[in-house]
Amino acid sequence: MKKLFFALLFVVFVGAVCFAEEASVSSGTSSALPWGTMTFTGTITKMSSGTILKRTNLEITAKDSTGEESTFILADNAVVTGKDGSKVSANWLSDNDKVTIEYTMDSDGVKTVKSVKMLSGW
């Protein structure tokens, strides 16, 4: 009976080790997925300012050429480039601006902007 018990315990232990998922510790920041930086080109449809109380950053919602909308969070260190190629404040961005956005996406699907380039036309 003891042999059966230890054999069963061994099988359970091996099974637990084989099927265990890697534990993750949340540090309050999200890590990018393995495919790195991605690019989105479209037209801004909505700008939402972040709030100090909720510690959220500026949100940009934009529509691509197929009509699909995506929402992005502007990183604190994101670079915004004007139509002339010079760095500008994110305050220059507004609805109907045509932009190219470089971003990363974390495992929760949150898209974080690394850079925004304002385009003069399509």
The CATH number that applies at residue 82 is 2.40.50.320
- Residue 29 inside a domain? The answer is no
Indicate the helix (H) or strand (E) that contains 9: helix 2-19
- Residue 48 inside a domain? The answer is yes
Domain with 79, as residue range(s), is 38-119
SS3 104: strand
Q: Which two tokens stand for residue 40?
A: 């989105």
| Residues comprising the chain, all counted | 122
Amino acid 25: pLDDT: 34
pTM: 0.66
Rounded average pLDDT per 10-residue block, the chain, 122 residues: 60 52 36 73 89 66 95 93 92 92 92 94 56
- Residue 59 inside a domain? The answer is yes
- Residue 86 inside a domain? The answer is yes
- Residue 103 inside a domain? The answer is yes
| Number of domains forming the structure of the chain | 1
- Residue 10 inside a domain? The answer is no
SS3 86: coil
Amino acid 82: pLDDT: 93
- How many angstroms separate the CA atoms of 122 and 120, rounded? 7
Q: What residues contact residue 102 under an 8 Å CB cut-off, 6+ apart?
A: 37, 38, 39, 113, 114, 115, 116
